[in-house]
Amino acid sequence: MLMTVLLVAAAWGLLALLGLALLASVAPQLRHALLPAAPLVGVTFLVAALHTTGLFLSVRRGLVVVLVLAVVVLVVGVRRGRARPLLDRPSAGWSLAGLALGIPFALVALAPSAILDSARVVSPSANNDAVWYVSVSSWLADHPITDVPMIPAAPMDVADPGVPGDGPAVSALTFPLRVGQELVQASLNTVTGTSPVTTFTPWLAVWVLLLPGGCLAAAALLRLGRAVGVLSGVVMASSVVLVQQVYNQNAASVLGIALAPLVLAGVVAALERDRRMPVLLAGLLLSGLVGTYSEYAPFVAPALVAALLLRRSGLGAAAARGAGVLLAAVAIAPLAWYRAVQGLIGVRGGAADAFPSPFRDAPLHVVLNRLVGVAPAGAGDERSWLAVLLAALVVAGVLLGIVLGPQRGLWLGLLGAALPFIVWLSVQRLGYTQRRAVEIVLPLVLFIAVVGWVSLVRRLSRRSVTGGQRQVRVVRWWAGAPVAVVLAAALLGSLVVFAGVNVRSSLAAFARADLAPRHVDSDFSEARQWVAAAGEEDVSVLVPSFFDQQWMTLALLDDEQVEYPAIRPDYFRTESFWSGGVDRYWLVGIGVQVDADPAVVVHANDRFRMLDLSRGEAVIAAPYGLTDWDTGLWADGGATTVNAQAQALVVRTPGTGSAVTLTLRAPLGEPVDVAVGAAGAPPVVVDDLALQPVAAPVELPAGTAPVLVDLLPEAPVGAAGPQRIEMAGVQRVP
């Protein structure tokens, strides 16, 4: 856990230094307002600058340009006298306050890592998004954004060939999808000399850590007061809806949520000439958000347009400055905007939209429980009066924010775009897209609710004080009207309750027993060492378990000659990366059945075995064409078919003969007849295969070439789909 904490601290420090260098050139008053969000300013600079350098340069080389630009900005600020004082006590204090507010919620985000006492990737939920981000950031560290990997059908002896682990990078760069978070991730890995497998989870916690500081700066820019910044930072960072995105490894949306309040406030401040927000800086912030999470654009754009149009005066000047912000943003990072437009035009939930949403496909009281944090997304079946109370407070706060709070145009624009869109998604039953829309909009709704309640307390506590010949209206929190004091105390109590129940729900969102199997532990690095010792040219990998295959493939990213006879195309863009031969060494995972002489197994740990086929006789049977096989495995290590036709790959050494048996069973449903045989040969029919395992004989062609064996279950009459067949073993026949 100490390593995790050190990584988080290092990332915060590096981003804060970069942001502070940029803020050295702005007016001191503005810098003091933005200082709590200095790390987020650093993030936007990295996203925007590396998108532009990424036209030609990798992150590793682009960082040199970033450093030069940061130094130039710092020198300009010093020479113009704006850097003095770079820090003052109040702004430094608020920066530390923002950091302190974020620490407990970053620790909640790191709870699975703390339980495992490891900084390495852990997937507390069934999501596998971390694979995506690690693959893309690994590629971008050494390649421009415009350089798309080419994955051949088998290893090639060429310079910088693509490998299956680059599959997510191919998808991200050709779709195209936003890559801003991956650019920041790659930057931090490059500067700290760390692996993305080790740092992905700590960097996610950093994004949560930065959120309260962003809220403090946003509140200052919008002249809402520091109280709004403090309270909204706590409410947003504690929300189970945010933390579950951390557990789901939704890194880009978590960073986008941290950026959103700051970006909205920065652009709105730039519309006002008297706030001294440079158009260039506002454009930088906007490009940072668009490049990080372009899915925010359909909500942020209407909010900013409404903030511009629903104003009492100065529309023409504000419109001119708004146009300047947009032009500056596009000029700073044209590639980010181009990719965002292309992505938004083509974005679809795809097959995932058929999945249910926890915020739609449940009774209203369950949805309410999940939205306000009384329960995590997978629970909350019981009715809760606390959920009703918290929901009422949020709704009332939003209404108060619109009626009493400043910037009501901003809030109206955001809600006017978001709420109808979410309702439409719900009616259309687009589960995944509806869920993601709720998850990124709700934090901003919570921000508005805080603005509303603080505005009410201020309105009630405002008194007239006579001073000399004029009357001054001031806000006295400590001596206001009794109603305001009572209301403020009640709201603080509600804040504590909200944060408490959300933290409790976050910690209940995962099962401790599920963490270890979904942790990229030392077994992966140990297997990587086996491959290195054997020589990558002589190694084939068979790992049918979805999680283990993903992370073993990423562990071997730099081993370009390793072959993968069977991999999953949904992530790795190919079903096989194999020349068709029999290598000396085979790295096999759980789900691969082996019958071998003891000397053949040269290494083993809890997940993997390394086989040296030169040390004795062996036969290997593994799922092939993995789209026809389940992503999970049975407790006995067996793999299960999911389609009406599936194949198993059989690999054997000389001397094993041409006859083997496959241990099969039907783990679910009624008994079923199964035809088993080498592809192209007459099959053997196993009658009434049921739960009890059966040894099915298979006659293989002469020789030692790998053989594909067909498994063809006959669907029972009236069955809804194909019967599942488990392959639980293989045996040599003397």
Q: At what angle do helices 226-238 and 431-461 cross, to 10 degrees?
A: 150
At residue 356, the pLDDT reads 85
At residue 482, the pLDDT reads 79
The structure's pTM equals: 0.92
At residue 477, the pLDDT reads 44
Domains in the chain: boundaries: 2-151+161-346+366-512, 521-732
Mean pLDDT computed over 56-64:
97
| 497-540: pLDDT as tens digits | 999 999 999 999 999 999 999 999 999 999 999 999 998 889 99
CA distances to 165, 561, 597, 709 from 611, rounded to whole Å, are: 22, 17, 10, 21
How far apart are alpha carbons 576 and 153 in whole angstroms?
7
| Residues near 89 by beta carbon (within 8 Å), at least 6 away in sequence | none
| 187-241: pLDDT as tens digits | 999 999 999 999 999 999 999 999 999 999 999 999 999 999 999 999 999 999 9
Q: How far is CA 74 from the centre of its chain?
A: 33
Structure tokens at 350: 């795809």
pLDDT at 139 over 50: yes
At residue 607, the pLDDT reads 95
Nearest CA among 246, 207, 209 for reference residue 127:
246
| 316-336: pLDDT as tens digits | 999 999 999 999 999 999 999
pLDDT band at 719 (very low <50, low <70, confident <90, very high): low
pLDDT band at 80 (very low <50, low <70, confident <90, very high): confident
pLDDT band at 718 (very low <50, low <70, confident <90, very high): low
| 2-22: pLDDT as tens digits | 889 999 999 999 999 999 999
Decide: 344 and 469 in contact? Cβ < 8 Å.
no
Decide: 529 and 614 in contact? Cβ < 8 Å.
no
| 456-484: pLDDT as tens digits | 998 888 754 444 444 544 444 444 467 77
At residue 479, the pLDDT reads 47
Decide: 298 and 347 in contact? Cβ < 8 Å.
no
Strands of 276-400, DSSP E: none
* 640 strand-pairing partners: 726
What percent of the chain is modeled with pLDDT above 70? 95
At residue 377, the pLDDT reads 85
pLDDT higher at 495 or 176:
495
Q: Which amino acid is at 217?
A: A
462, containing H or E segment: strand 462-467
At residue 350, the pLDDT reads 58
Q: What is the mean pLDDT of the chain?
A: 91
Q: Which amino acid is at 559?
A: D
pLDDT at 98 over 80: yes
How far apart are alpha carbons 171 and 175 in whole angstroms?
6
pLDDT higher at 264 or 679:
264
| 350-372: pLDDT as tens digits | 556 778 889 998 899 999 999 99
Decide: 23 and 34 in contact? Cβ < 8 Å.
yes
